Amino acid sequence: MDPEIEDRVTTFGELGLVPELLAAVQDAGYTEPTPIQRDAIPRVLQGRDIIGLAQTGTGKTAAFTLPIVQRLLGGPRRTRVLVLTPTRELAAQVEASFVKYARHAAVSVIPVYGGVPIEPQERALRAGVDVVVATPGRLLDHLERQNVCFDALEFLVLDEADRMLDMGFAPQLNRIVEQLPRYRQTLLFSATMPAEVEALSRKYLRKPVVVQVGRRSEAASTVTHAVYPVPRERKSALLIELLRNDQMDSVLIFTRTKHGADRVVRHLDRAGIAAIALHADKSQSQRTRALESFKSGAARILVATDIAQRGLDVSGISHVINYDVPQQPEDYVHRIGRTGRAAQTGDAFTFMSADEIAMVRTIERMLGQPIPRISVPGYDFGTVAAA
């Protein structure tokens, strides 16, 4: 980070944002920029390519949305911005950010993702739009149908690049980027920087500036972590116990599989605790409804598989519970990025059966610190086995 920027800049105005954007920031209720915003906004306004090493919860969406909207002001109505995201949930959220930050600017945006009919998107694209926020597969369908033209494209944003590569989108990304103008500004955001993402950035970015929030792979520091040792078959009973006894306002529970998510919802239901499931077997409208009722607070408990892992912007989640230990250590960091967002505090609990001990150790090595164990009498496999 440029030390001068760190020392001097404390307000959005000092980052070079114009009144239209400052008004939107004020409407959003933000008093000062987050570190990634402080570092990235002036660089994007200067026209630099950027690698942003930041996970969800750091304010990274505004870090690229605000300066891009500013750069669009007063320009022609052509498709000048493409944001690519791994999931439709993230696409919808980035679209919402553009709408929010472009409140005082005449900038139009549409989300483009699969699982919903293609024709309305086709009509909207053909009518012309400034910003397209898309998942790679559905965007390629539109490109094949020649629904969208990127000849005037100025900005490409790759959001959660590591996740897109994890999901096997590399070939689609290549096919899309091949069709974009070479002279453009490219911003790549990623929570982690494995070799594949570095290779991608070498290929697509020109002399990028790296802006980084904290140490690589660092978990959100406002989150309190705990591991509950518990036999697999006692996990649902422990969950019910915690949900009954602890102060948990809104709880996001992660399971490894869709069936696991449905099973947890059923167990909770039988115990008289209302919960809803969010996973890829649900239709898009069911997923949207589930998210909306969770966001509005109507549903207190959401049980989700990985699709909700990143990009799910639900402010004020008090607890994340890993019902199963994540398979990839990075996923642990992403999941707990759901709580502790923008400096709120939150708790992240992980249920660990005996066969998951090694995975928890791997996660702890990556975090560089042990996660405290909490032993609930009658549930801990140590005490259960001894009894």
List interacting residues with ligand AMP (CB under 6 A).
Answer: 30, 33-34, 37, 56-62, 313, 315, 341-342
Minimum separation from the CB atom of position 6 to ligand AMP (A): 16
Distances (CA, A) of 376 to 11, 231, 264, 373: 46, 12, 20, 10
- Rank residues 199 and 343 by Cβ distance to ligand AMP and give the closer one: 343
Tokens of 138: 């559905």
Backbone angles phi, psi at 224, to 5 degrees: -95, 125
Minimum separation from the CB atom of position 222 to ligand AMP (A): 12
Contact indicator for 164, 158 with CB cutoff of 8 Å:
yes
- Rank residues 96 and 376 by Cβ distance to ligand AMP and give the closer one: 96
3-state secondary structure 141-194: HHHHCCCCCCCCCCEEEECCHHHHHHCCCHHHHHHHHCCCCCCCEEEEEECCCC
Minimum separation from the CB atom of position 254 to ligand AMP (A): 18
155-158 and 276-278 as β-strands: parallel, antiparallel, unpaired? unpaired
Minimum separation from the CB atom of position 97 to ligand AMP (A): 7
- Rank residues 46 and 315 by Cβ distance to ligand AMP and give the closer one: 315
Closest residue to ligand AMP, judged by C-beta, is 61
Q: 97: closest CA among 159, 43, 141?
A: 159
Minimum separation from the CB atom of position 119 to ligand AMP (A): 30
Rounded to an integer, what distance in angstroms lies between the CA atom of residue 54 and that of residue 341? Answer: 12
The DSSP annotation for 102-131 comes to TTTS---EEEE-SSS-HHHHHHHHHH--SE
- Rank residues 172 and 190 by Cβ distance to ligand AMP and give the closer one: 190
- Rank residues 229 and 311 by Cβ distance to ligand AMP and give the closer one: 311
Rounded to an integer, what distance in angstroms lies between the CA atom of residue 189 and that of residue 193? Answer: 10
Minimum separation from the CB atom of position 60 to ligand AMP (A): 5
What is the per-residue burial (b if ≥16 Cβ within 10 Å, else e) of 2-15?
Answer: eeeeeeebeebeeb
Q: 336: closest CA among 240, 191, 224, 190?
A: 224
- Rank residues 30 and 381 by Cβ distance to ligand AMP and give the closer one: 30
Element of type H or E holding 210:
strand 209-212
- Rank residues 60 and 225 by Cβ distance to ligand AMP and give the closer one: 60
Q: 64: closest CA among 41, 35, 43, 85?
A: 41
- Rank residues 56 and 250 by Cβ distance to ligand AMP and give the closer one: 56
Minimum separation from the CB atom of position 74 to ligand AMP (A): 25
Minimum separation from the CB atom of position 63 to ligand AMP (A): 7
Rounded to an integer, what distance in angstroms lies between the CA atom of residue 37 and that of residue 293? Answer: 30
